[in-house]
Amino acid sequence: MTKQFHNVEYMEIKVLNKVFDLLEYAAEVSPRPLLPGEAAERCKIPRSTCVRLLKLLSEKGYLEQLSPRKGYTPGPAAALLNGGCYQQLAFHGERLLRTFAAELKISVQLSLRQGNCRLILCGFNGDPGLNLDLRRIRRYDLQRAISGRMLLSFAPEAEQRQIIGSWGEDRGVFAGFSDGEILGQLRELSRQSLLCCEHHGKYAAVVPLRVRGRVAAAAGAVWRPGRMPRAQEITDRLKNTVELIEGYINVESF
């Protein structure tokens, strides 16, 4: 029995080593997609095993596959491997936001900005009727949601201009506004540090989370019209939850 246990333990460690080999190789060749055949050869893994591991890493968000015929690139969850800062945000965010969502029967999430993308670190559906997909870490365009608007408002203006210019006609919640008008909205939003509005038939609120005086993430809440509690109660609780997360963060990691 002991020998069998050690054999199983050895196999698990061996598989774990291969997983890290794949992640390291994907980071090495990025931004070029990693192909299963070359990954199997480089990491000395049977092709069938390599395909299964790549699929698993994609499902968990550590790798991304843009289409079935293309290779894999580092996914949003890979950010959690880059240091303690994201790990802390995800850990304390999960702990506190889960309670928040359950008590108020709303949906909440914690997200941060990576370039022109909003990276959702964690989220919970206290109201299943909202049908929000918060099952895993994932990326979304900044212009698609109000939390993206909040995150963008605290980026340097030169970076804001570059990001806005890259959108073309696909401007999401900024549709119909010129670049100058969008920049004006972002300046006002960063000054207010709170946004609460109707969005796609639901109500949403978002508050920035600061570490060492800069915005590191944004916490958002979504609820259905006509549902209790009131918007003021939700925004007050959201602010309090953000302050709690800020208090738990080890600033030396940032």
- Pair 216, 112: CB distance under 8 Å: yes
Burial of 76 (0-12, 13-18, 19+ CB in 10 A): buried
* 150-179: average pLDDT: 92
Q: For 28-42, how does the pLDDT look when each residue is reduced to its tens digit (9 = 90+)?
A: 887 788 899 999 999
* 238-243: average pLDDT: 94
Q: For the chain, what is the largest distance between any 2 Cα atoms, rounded to a whole number of angstroms?
A: 70
Helices (H) and strands (E) in the chain, counts: 8, 8
pTM > 0.85 = no
The DSSP letter of residue 252 is G
Domains and CATH numbers, the chain: 2-74 (1.10.10.10), 81-253 (3.30.450.40)
Model confidence at 70, pLDDT cuts 50, 70, 90, reads confident
Going by C-beta distance under 8 Å and a sequence separation of 6 or more, which residues neighbour residue 158?
A: none
Is the per-residue pLDDT at 120 higher than 70? yes
pLDDT for the residue numbered 79: 64
* 224-242: average pLDDT: 85
pLDDT for the residue numbered 149: 93
Residue 244 C-beta-side C-alpha neighbours within 13 Å: 16
Model confidence at 182, pLDDT cuts 50, 70, 90, reads very high
Tokens of 47: 């092709």
Strand 107-114 vs strand 214-223: parallel, antiparallel, or unpaired? antiparallel
CA 103 and chain centroid, separation? 23
Residue 13: Cβ within 10 Å count: 10
Q: Is 114 or 149 the better-scoring residue by pLDDT? A: 149
The DSSP letter of residue 144 is G
Size of the chain in residues: 254
Q: Which residues pair with 112 in a beta bridge?
A: 119
* 123-134: average pLDDT: 77
